[in-house]
Amino acid sequence: MMKRFSYSLVRTLFGLFSLFLFANAGAQSPADTIELDDGSVISGQLLGGSSSQIVFESNAAGKLFIPLDKIVAIESHQPIVLKLSDDRIIRAPSFQFSQGQFVVMTASGVQSYTLADIDKINPKPWMLGQGYRRTGNLILAWEVQSGNTNKNELDYALDLVWEGLTARYTLLASGEIDSANEQKTSDDYTIIGKSDRLLANNAYMGVNLYLEADEFAHLKQRLMLSGYYGKQWRSAPRLSLSTEPGLAYVSDDRIDLQKDQYFGFSWNFDMKSNVLGQSTQSYLNQVGVWNLEDNTDIVINTRIGITVPLLSKIALNVELKLDYDTGAPAGIEELDQTFKFGLGYYW
Delimit the domains of the chain by residue range.
Answer: 32-123, 133-346
In the chain, count H helices and then E strands. Answer: 1, 24
Which of the pair, 276 or 2, is modelled with greater confidence? 276
Domain 133-346 listed as CATH 1.20.950.20: no
Q: What is the mean pLDDT of residues 323-331?
A: 88
pLDDT of residue 164: 93
Does the pLDDT value for residue 9 go beyond 90? no
Rounded to whole angstroms, how far apart are CA atoms 49 and 209? 34
- Residues with Cβ within 8 Å of residue 154, at least 6 apart in sequence: 140, 141, 142, 176, 177, 178
Strand partners, 226: 208, 248
Least confident of 8-22, 159-173, 222-236: 8-22
pLDDT at 171: 97
204-228 exposure pattern, b = at least 16 Cβ within 10 A, e = fewer: bebebebebbbeebebeebebebeb
| pLDDT at 256 (0 to 100) | 81
Confidence of residue 47 (pLDDT cuts 50, 70, 90): very high
Q: How far, in Å, CA of 281 to CA of 251, rounded?
A: 34
Number of neighbouring beta carbons within 10 Å of residue 38? 7
Task: Assess whether pLDDT exceeds 50 at residue 1.
Answer: no
* Most distant pair of Cα atoms in the chain: their distance: 107
Residue-level pLDDT at 184: 78
CA distance 318 to 315: 10
Instruction: Give the list of residues 6+ apart from residue 13 with CB closer than 8 angstroms, or none.
Output: none
* pTM recorded for the entire structure: 0.74
CB under 8 Å to 222, separation ≥6 — which residues? 210, 211, 212, 213, 250, 251, 252, 253, 299
CB crowding 294-331: b at 16 or more within 10 Å, else e? eeebbbbbebebbbeeeeeeebebebebebbbebbeee
pLDDT value at residue 147? 59
